Amino acid sequence: MRFLIPILISATVLVPQGIADNVQSILEIPNTNAGAAHRIAIVGAGAAGSSAAYHLSQFARDAGLEIPLNITIFESEARVGGRTTTVNALNDPRYPVELGGSIFVEINRILFNATRDFNLPTNARIYESTGSDYDLGIWDGDSFIFTTANSDDDGSLKDRWSGWWDIAKLLWKYGFSPLRLRSLQRATIGRFLNMYDEFFPFLDLTQAAEEADLLSVTGTTGEKMLAAAGISEQFSREIIQASTRVNYAQNLPDFHGLETLVCMSTDGAMSIEGGNWQIFDQMIKHSQAKLRLNSTVTAVNTTTGSPTLTITNSEGATVSESFDTIILAHPYNSSMMTLTPPPAHTPHKDVAYVSLHVTLFTSPFRPSPVYFNLNPPVDSLVPDSILTTVPEALDPHFLGRGVEGVGPTGFWSLSTLHILNPSTDGYIPGVVSSGSIPVENLDMSGKQYLYKIFSPAPLTAEELVELFGWQDDQSLPADLKSNSRTQSHGGTSISALPDTLLTWSHEKVWNSYPYLPPRTEFDCFDVYNCSSTRSVEAEALARKLWYTSAIEPFICTMETSALSGRNIARLIVDGLA
């Protein structure tokens, strides 16, 4: 941080000069690129950036803009999709699996419309039963405090939460809480949907949230909001917190009310067969924007009328290019990118991101009933999907974040995603493969279970040995045999496990989403014209640098990032019309 101080000091000296230049260019040459195309740079090819590109071209066409848009997307990775991407289980292109954003819902109008408009197949093979008696269990580190029984299933999409609305069972255990939650959630989501029409487009998120009457739910914790609505503490902790933990790796006492309700709004959950990233890939293709992969933007200099980007390619070579408008479509991090002049309000200054460890792996084995204290210890009592919460005795108010916040369970969730039969499974139609090489030299005649675990720290070999009860397995290296549950966990990489037990694995650490404590003020979309700090400097630089991730501390999903991109696209086109 220390090196930032001289930059800030020198900037206060530089800014007046910058303003002078800028005011002059605005006064004398109203359009810095008169006659030619309006050049727009989008930094980031995730949900937000691709939606911005797509909607810019749509809105420009609808508005009959005279001046053509020339859109360039810069993406540091070699692929589009950002936090939405797939990897191939068993390195086999038949088995693409989501590593990041997995599920969206029918009320997600932008994504839902895109699946329709781009003809992308949804839903296939999200869930197959393993033969377990339970499709879902909520584990508190000691016992399963709630389970839903597996119903007969035809292998088609199974809504992750549909079992929860086995209302009779819920009412029996939790009284009227499930119904109260339902009405609170309907009313709030209805108010949020106004942001697609009545309040669209919105220059100021804080103001739009206020007008949609949502600040009361973003400004309080999920815990307090639910208590105020008459929902029991037990239902909140056991059921709703399991959802905030699997979706956002956070507990209710430090997580705002709006995102809590988003976690419970899973009606009509779906995903794109072969990978959700295809939505964003199609949006970019339909936008006719130029896509520059392997191109990291390291600086944005907005001192003159034409903001200049500094772009570094994967070989480390640097170029500068000028544009008329820039859209930052990723969470801003000052150590990764500099903004000149430094904005009065630095984007995401007070926003911290969750460090989420995602471990995908395949094994011919099921988790151990002994690990979960099941009696009798039979495999079929272990649920297919395991969500977690903290036990009643442990006050989550005193838990921190990450490793502390997860509590005694040690992981946020463990899901069985698919049953793979590599020797007999056919190719899945419509799947876009990335063409990896299948794992060789393995006996693939039997079935393989594909698992996904979310945890706050790397999953270790010792933890998997316990979870699956492999302590006495012949093939286990001696140094992994000695651990028992009462001893402290070792820290051996899961790659040390023999491939008879763990046939394939993929580990990824994401800065997945922000921590979402209550808040009633959000960052500005227009970085240099931020309502609370507006000044002469800001007006002169207004509408040049836009920021999509301002929406993340409000709601962080693929859809809301796409909404943010769409909103900014409309603001830009309105400004040019």
Q: Where do contacts with ligand FAD occur on this chain (CB under 6 A)? A: 43-49, 74-77, 82-84, 100-104, 296-297, 329-330, 336-337, 356, 358, 510, 512-513, 548-549, 556-559, 561
Q: Does 306 bind ligand NAG (CB under 6 A)?
A: no
CB-facing half-sphere around the CA of 32: CA atoms within 13 A: 20
406-to-23, 346, 372, 396, 402 alpha-carbon distances in Å: 52, 31, 17, 9, 6
Counting Cβ atoms within 10 Å, is residue 435 exposed (0-12), middle (13-18) or buried (19+)?
Answer: exposed
Which DSSP state fits 391?
A: -
The dihedrals phi and psi of 349, each to the nearest 5 degrees, come to -60, -40
Least Cβ distance, residue 508 to ligand NAG (angstroms): 15
Per CB under 6 A, 419 contacts ligand NAG: no
Considering the complex, what minimum distance in angstroms separates the CB of residue 135 from ligand NAG?
32
Verify binding: residue 314, ligand NAG, rule CB under 6 A.
Answer: yes
CB of 543 to ligand NAG, least distance (A): 5
Instruction: Identify the helix (H) or strand (E) that includes residue 136.
Output: strand 134-139
Q: Is 303 in the site for ligand NAG (CB under 6 A)?
A: yes
- Chain positions 67 to 96 lying near ligand NAG, rule: CB under 6 A, are 70, 72, 78
507 touches ligand NAG (CB under 6 A): no
Distance from C-alpha of 304 to C-alpha of 341, rounded to nearest angstrom: 10
- Phi-psi category of 573—alpha, beta or left, where left has phi over 0 and alpha has psi -120 to 50? alpha
Which partner in ligand FAD, ligand NAG, none is near 74 (CB below 5 to 8 A by kind)?
ligand FAD
Amino acid at 281: D
Tokens of 230: 């008459």
Q: In DSSP terms, which residues pair with 338 in a beta bridge? A: 299
Scanning residues 183 to 242, which ones bind ligand NAG (CB under 6 A)?
196, 203-204
Residue 340 in contact with ligand NAG, rule: CB under 6 A: yes
Q: Is 187 helix (H, G, I), strand (E, B) or coil?
A: helix
Burial-class residue 301 by CB neighbours within 10 Å (0-12, 13-18, 19+): middle
**Closest to ligand NAG by CB, 204 or 273:** 204
Taking the least distance from each CB to ligand NAG, the nearer of 78 and 437 is 78
Q: Tell me the C-alpha distance between 426 and 430, whole Å.
A: 12
Nearer to ligand NAG, 171 or 319 (CB): 319
**Conformation bin of residue 292: beta by default, left when phi > 0, alpha when psi is -120 to 50:** beta
8 Å CB contact between 46 and 82: yes
Are 72 and 64 in contact, with CB atoms under 8 Å apart? no
Q: From CA 384, how far away is CA 376, in angstroms rounded?
A: 17
Q: Which of residues 353-382 bind ligand NAG (CB under 6 A)?
A: 353
| Interface residue with ligand NAG, options 65, 293, 370, 419 (CB under 6 A) | 293
Cβ proximity to ligand FAD: between 384 and 462 the closer is: 384
Give per-residue burial for 335-359: e unless 16+ CB within 10 Å, then b.
Answer: eebebbbbbbbbbbeebebbebbbb
Which of 185-193, 240-248, 389-397, 537-545 is the region at the interface with ligand NAG (rule: CB under 6 A)? Answer: 537-545
Nearer CB in complex with ligand FAD: 324/559 = 559
Query: Of ligand FAD, ligand NAG, none, which one sits near residue 303, judging by CB under 5 to 8 A according to partner kind?
Result: ligand NAG
Q: Is 301 in the site for ligand NAG (CB under 6 A)?
A: yes
Does position 37 interact with ligand NAG (CB under 6 A)? The reply is yes
Pick the stretch among 106-114, 209-217, 233-241, 253-261 that binds ligand NAG (CB under 6 A): 106-114
Nearer to ligand NAG, 165 or 515 (CB): 515
Minimum distance, C-beta of residue 499 to ligand FAD, in the bound complex (Å): 25
Does residue 285 touch ligand NAG according to CB under 6 A?
no
> What is the distance between the alpha carbons of residues 511 and 530, in angstroms, rounded to a whole number?
26
CB 263 within 8 A of CB 240: yes
- Residue 165 or 200: the one with the smaller Cβ distance to ligand NAG is 200
| Residue 232 beta carbon to ligand FAD: minimum distance, rounded to whole angstroms | 27
193 DSSP assignment: H
CB of 271 to ligand FAD, least distance (A): 8
Choose, by CB under 6 A, the member of 94, 109, 125, 224 that binds ligand NAG. Answer: 109
User: 222 is in the binding site of which of ligand NAG, ligand FAD, none (Cβ under 5 to 8 A by kind)?
Assistant: none
Shortest spacing between CB 59 and ligand NAG, in angstroms: 11
Which residue, 178 or 307, is less far from ligand NAG as judged by CB? 307
Does position 401 interact with ligand NAG (CB under 6 A)? The reply is no
Paired sense of beta strands 38-43 and 96-98, if any: unpaired
Partner in contact with 103, chosen from ligand NAG, ligand FAD, none, beta carbon below 5 to 8 Å by kind: ligand FAD
| DSSP secondary structure, 203-245, as one string | S-HHHHHHHTT-HHHHTSBHHHHHHHTT--HHHIIIIIHHHHH
- Is the distance from CB of 70 to CB of 94 less than 8 angstroms? no
- CB 489 within 8 Å of CB 477: no
Residue 26 binding ligand NAG, by CB under 6 A: no
For residue 373, give both structure tokens.
């204290």
Phi, psi of 82 (to 5 degrees): 60, -120
Decide: is 335 part of the binding site for ligand NAG (CB under 6 A).
yes
Q: Using CB under 6 A as the criterion, which residues of the chain lie in contact with ligand NAG when the complex forms?
A: 37, 39, 70, 72, 78, 109-110, 113, 196, 203-204, 293-294, 301, 303-304, 314, 321, 333, 335-336, 340, 353, 529, 531, 539, 542-543
